[in-house]
């Protein structure tokens, strides 16, 4: 619900506002006076709170005192009181409430039940479970379709199977033509504390605490780094992991998020993310771009060195101001960005040129992105 232009399209938006209205109704009903007639106004209060003052930013011309009126709950809707004590929330009437604290006898929410297979998989942190039903149909001699018993089948998808969907909403108008795409390079260092199932066999014995990819001098972590390691349960068993790149408009109202895949097994892996920013042809295109991995750890930004035609980057901070000036470092679509990055001729292999990638993020997690404090 963060976007002002799209929040009303989110069903949670209405549930949230209904709850606020419910709290207001509880407050109204708890008054010791009749709020419709006896407006609790203190003369020392500012004039904007006077009972007969017209409410701000409402086209109905309602007065402040009418905010206490019973007209809505008398004619349109009523709120059922929420169960509070354990005796009220027990039973079948509220299947998703339970007695959360026997001492205070308060109701609290409970998790919806899952099937055993799904629950077992989710405990590893790598899987999301869902159920499907396969329905077998047979045709009788009369041509009517008969339905046999439904067979429940549990399937599993990993977090890597989900994609990002962006609204392409820019200043209240959803249109991909108002956006352009830029490449962002991600350099990812293997986090400490991970251990994959590729065992190291040395002198006829299995080496403990290492795998094939961590068995090298580059991965010699200090004790301090090992203590700050993240749990292996948050990384897929294959080593594939996501690094997200987020664009927040500074001179425009818009947001774009996408990800690229890195290999957490390797000491260092590299990948390219392609994200969208405002088209500079539509006036100022200033964006704040950040990157973080699937655990929320922030990556450090580096910018391409001026006048450099190599892979040289230096630490930078601030915002990105995209203009139409040459060299053109963006494309109207992903295909055009790909042509900026990769050059090939007939019968020749692809070769990538990083001179058109002006922003890179280093996900090494050795220090906080903004330096030492």
Instruction: Report domain extents, the chain.
Output: 7-108, 169-190+239-363, 192-229
> From CA 295, how far away is CA 298, in angstroms rounded?
9
pLDDT at 273: 96
CA geometry: angle 210, 211, 216, nearest 5 deg: 75
Give the Cβ contact number of residue 243 at 10 Å: 23
How much is the pLDDT for 64? 86
* pLDDT recorded at residue 3: 63
The pLDDT, as a whole number, for residue 130 is 32
pLDDT in tens, 3-41: 666 677 778 888 888 889 999 888 888 888 887 788 877
Predicted TM-score (pTM) of this structure:
0.59
Please identify every stretch of the chain with a pLDDT value under 70, giving residue numbers as ranges: 1-6, 101-104, 111-161, 217-236, 306-310, 344-348, 366-373
The pLDDT of residue 235: 53
* No. of helices (H) and no. of strands (E), the chain: 6, 21
Q: Residue 187 pairs with which residues in a beta bridge?
A: 270, 362
The Cα 201–Cα 195 span in angstroms is: 15
Distance CA 236, CA 272 (A): 20
Kindly state the tokens that stand for 298: 């922030």
pLDDT of residue 195: 82
pLDDT of residue 369: 56
**CA 257 to CA 169: how far, in whole Å?**
12
Task: Identify the CA nearest to 322 among candidates 289, 354, 347.
Answer: 289
Whole-number pLDDT of residue 150: 46
Q: What are the backbone dihedrals phi and psi of residue 117, each rounded to the nearest 5 degrees, phi first?
A: -65, -40
User: What tens digit of pLDDT does each residue of 176-196 get?
Assistant: 999 999 999 999 998 877 888
Q: ω into residue 224 within 30 of 0, thus cis? A: no
- For residue 298, the tally of other CB atoms under 10 A from its CB is 15
């Amino acid at each position: 619900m963060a976007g002002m232009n799209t929040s009303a399209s989110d069903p949670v938006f209405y549930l949230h506002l209904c709850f606020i209205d419910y709290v207001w109704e509880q407050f109204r009903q708890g008054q010791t006076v009749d709020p419709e007639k006896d407006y609790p106004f203190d003369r020392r209060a500012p004039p904007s709170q006077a009972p007969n003052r017209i409410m701000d930013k409402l086209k109905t011309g309602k007065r402040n005192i009418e905010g206490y009126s019973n007209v809505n709950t008398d004619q349109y809707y009523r709120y059922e009181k929420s169960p509070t004590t354990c005796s009220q929330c027990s039973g079948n009437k509220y299947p998703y409430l339970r007695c959360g604290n026997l001492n205070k006898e308060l109701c609290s929410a409970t998790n919806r039940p899952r099937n055993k297979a799904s629950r077992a998989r989710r405990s590893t942190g790598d899987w999301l479970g869902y159920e499907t039903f396969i329905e077998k149909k047979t045709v009788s001699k009369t041509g009517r379709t008969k339905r046999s018993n439904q067979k429940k089948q549990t399937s599993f998808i990993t977090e890597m199977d989900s994609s990002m969907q962006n609204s392409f909403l820019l200043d209240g108008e959803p249109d991909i033509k108002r956006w352009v795409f830029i490449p962002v390079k991600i350099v990812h260092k293997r986090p400490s504390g991970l251990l994959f199932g590729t065992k190291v066999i040395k002198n006829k014995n299995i080496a403990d605490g290492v795998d094939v990819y961590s068995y090298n001098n580059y991965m010699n972590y200090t004790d301090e780094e090992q203590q700050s390691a993240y749990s292996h349960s948050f990384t897929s068993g294959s080593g594939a992991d996501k690094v997200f790149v987020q664009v927040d408009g500074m001179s425009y109202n818009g947001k774009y998020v996408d990800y690229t895949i890195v290999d957490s097994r390797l000491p260092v892996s590299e990948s390219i993310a392609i994200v969208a920013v405002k088209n500079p042809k539509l006036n100022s295109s200033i964006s704040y771009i950040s990157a973080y991995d699937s655990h929320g750890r922030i990556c450090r930004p580096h910018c391409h060195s001026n006048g450099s035609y190599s892979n040289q980057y230096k630490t930078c901070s601030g915002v990105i101001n995209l203009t139409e000036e040459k060299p053109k470092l963006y494309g109207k679509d992903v295909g055009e960005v790909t042509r900026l990055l990769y050059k090939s001729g007939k019968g020749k292999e692809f070769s990538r040129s990083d001179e058109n990638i002006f922003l890179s993020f280093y996900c090494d997690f050795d220090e906080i992105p903004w330096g030492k404090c």
